[in-house]
A and B are shown apart, each in its own frame.
Chain A
Amino acid sequence: MKIYVCVKQVPASNETLLDPVTHTIIREGTQSILNPFDAYAVEEAVRIKKRCGGTVTAFSMGIPSAEGMLRRVIAVGADEAVLLTDRAFAGSDTLATARTLAAALKHQGLPDLILCGRMATDGDTAQVGPMLAECLDIPHVSDVAEIEEINEKGCVVRKMTDDGYMRLRVKLPALLTVLKEINIPRLPSVSGVIHGEKAEIVRMTREDLGIDPEKSGLNGSATRVVRTERPIMTRKTTWIDGTAAEQAERLKKKLQEGGLIC
């Protein structure tokens, strides 16, 4: 089985700098990690490979230093990694990102299965997975909690819904976005790390993928961030004084007066 997994490098902390002109994230000079949700997608891909045979290739669009993250993905069991890196990709919104990934995946030949994390922790949009599936014209299942059965023809998955869970069968090729509860990602072994350090990371640019410059990066993005600001606080805050016990008593009284508690 040929498995692709899409991963993203995200800032390790919540302190993120914005470019004051373009309002896009400044990625240089900040500590970066593999998007935590993507670690579950990588682990699931490696487990399926162990069960069914095949190969796992990781794809990421990012700055050149994202290569380190891809080496760690190889260290935990991916066979190859492709880094889509080009100044022309900078400022991509989710649509431009999905289109770039779709071009790269098609370029390398469509797989049987594509796995993505549920969302990335920097944008929290959960958009790129389903967008990528549409660009590739294959089905997708979001929020997968368990892959119960899988072979080249299809898989049975349990997905989270607003009302609980649902089991369904989907034909392959398909794209699945996975939840944290799907597995516990392994830590890399020493030999895995050495293997990852030695591995060749394939690099691809806009030109390699044949993407029109008008259709990549900021130019190819449908959305624009026009303003970022601190939120406006509208509530009038009343500070309650005293020891913890006194504060608790005073709060009780206030809430009773307001009819909020008995």
Chain B
Amino acid sequence: MLNGIESGGLWVYCEQGTDGIRPVACELLGQAARLAETMKKTVTAVLIGGTENQAAALAACGADHVLLAEIPAEELPDERVHTAVMKKLAEKYSPAILLLGATAFGRSLAPRLAAGLGTGLTADCTGLEIDPETGLLRQTRPAFGGNLMATIICPERMPQMATVRPKVFPMPVPDAGRPLRLVREKIGATKHCFEFMEKIPAGDEPDIGTADVLISVGQGIGGAENIAMAEELARRLGGTISSSRPLVDSGIMPYARQVGQTGKTVAPKLYLALGISGAIQHMAGVAAGTIVAVNTDPDAPVFGYADYALQCDCGEFLRAMLNKN
């Protein structure tokens, strides 16, 4: 026990984004708190550069302790600096588990840090459980390009590290009554490798990650005319259009629209999958309230995930939805 933080605890790395802490950090604190109950351990949120108010918000989401690493102000987050800071903290406090959000920065930092700590890392987990017998973290992720889920453990090295995509786990309901136990760690001068030059914000592309209605198109959509109709349907329903990976790989849809393991995780109220076969990498990115699948192939895996299954041609379906007959 050091500064009240026990060894063998659960840690969540909390990333500072452009508008404050990335929400995925709170989603992970919710999961960490759930796992901590089984492990009879505490949850520590680690924040590199931040305010006491931010720390309080993390406590409200489930952190028993907030470890605030104070570093000289940085123009942009630097993977090498954050690796050095996290390595120092992990070696001092010996956490058993370290979770990170699989944001662009998290996916770049986590492997670097895992190599620095000489431990294992599982990317883009969709399930985290504690093995009741061994106490190890069972990390589940879609794997091997097939329709399989793999469960991965890291039995001999600590901490056991995993990244999780934003929105895979629900946002916990914050409890402002939870006490904030803040531990400040002063970190000396850090050597930056980057010279920041310019931020170029994303264009007017709507964010599929926050849309309430998504009309998603796949290889079976059947041509540009049908994609245009899908866009019109999205507009009429107050939603936006998204895509599965093959249409992005072939350059028909931009990467920003890609749903799935290698694209974005989405959580709309309604997800309408048009001509999408429903490989697990795609469906792993869909945390929708209601899923509708339209496909001509009755054996398409997508139907197994759907609330409503429609076996018909996407073009005919879209014309009917838009009253174009």
A213 within 8 A of B: no
Chain A residues with Cβ under 8 A from B303's Cβ?
Answer: 237
CB pair B155 A249 closer than 8 Å: no
Which residues 7-39 in B have Cβ within 8 Å of A in the complex? Answer: 17-18, 22
Nearest Cβ on chain A to B232's Cβ, whole angstroms: 14
Complex Cα gap A248–B322 (Å): 9
Are A223 and B122 in contact, CB atoms less than 8 angstroms apart? yes
Q: Which one of A60-68, A81-89, A129-137, A192-200 contacts B?
A: A129-137
Residues in B whose Cβ lies below 8 Å from that of A230: 147-149
B144 — which chain A residues lie within 8 A by C-beta?
16, 18, 25, 122-123, 228
- Min Cβ gap B234→A in Å is 12
Residues facing B in A12-38 (CB within 8 A) are 13-16, 18, 23, 25, 36
Report A-chain residues with C-beta under 8 Å of the C-beta of B176.
none
Tell me which of A72-80, A161-169, A203-211 binds B. A161-169
State the A residues within 8 Å of B (CB).
Answer: 11, 13-16, 18, 23, 25, 36, 93-95, 98-99, 119, 121-135, 139-143, 156, 158, 160-171, 174, 180-181, 221-231, 233, 235-240, 243-245, 247-249, 251-252, 254-255, 258, 260-261
Q: List 29 A-B contacts (CB under 8 A).
A: A11-B145, A13-B145, A14-B146, A95-B118, A119-B262, A125-B123, A127-B123, A133-B112, A134-B116, A142-B108, A158-B200, A161-B199, A163-B199, A164-B200, A166-B200, A168-B197, A225-B152, A228-B151, A229-B148, A235-B291, A237-B304, A237-B307, A238-B307, A238-B308, A240-B308, A244-B319, A252-B321, A260-B213, A260-B270
CB proximity of B312 to chain A, nearest CB, Å: 4
Whether B115 pairs with A168 at a CB distance below 8 angstroms is: no
Give the interface of B toward A (CB within 8 A).
17-18, 22, 76, 79-80, 83, 103-105, 107-116, 118-124, 138, 142-157, 193-203, 213, 237, 249, 255, 261-262, 269-270, 279-281, 283, 289-292, 303-313, 316-317, 319-321, 325
A96 to B40, CA, bound (A): 32
Chain A hits for B157, CB < 8 A:
222
Q: A122-B145, A131-B111, A222-B119 are in contact. List 15 more A-B contacts (CB 8 A).
A: A14-B146, A16-B146, A121-B145, A123-B143, A128-B111, A139-B194, A161-B104, A164-B203, A168-B197, A222-B154, A229-B149, A235-B305, A238-B307, A248-B320, A260-B290
CB pair A18 B316 closer than 8 Å: no
A225 contacts B150, C-beta separation under 8 Å: yes
Cβ of B237 and Cβ of A95 under 8 Å apart?
Answer: no
Contacts of B120 in A (CB 8 A): 93, 95, 221-223
> Which of chain B's residues has its CB closest to A232's CB?
B149
- State the CA gap A227–B127 with chains docked (Å): 13
Please state if B148 and A98 are interface contacts (CB–CB under 8 Å): no
B322: nearest chain-A partner, CB-CB? A248
Do the beta carbons of B201 and A245 come within 8 Å of each other?
no
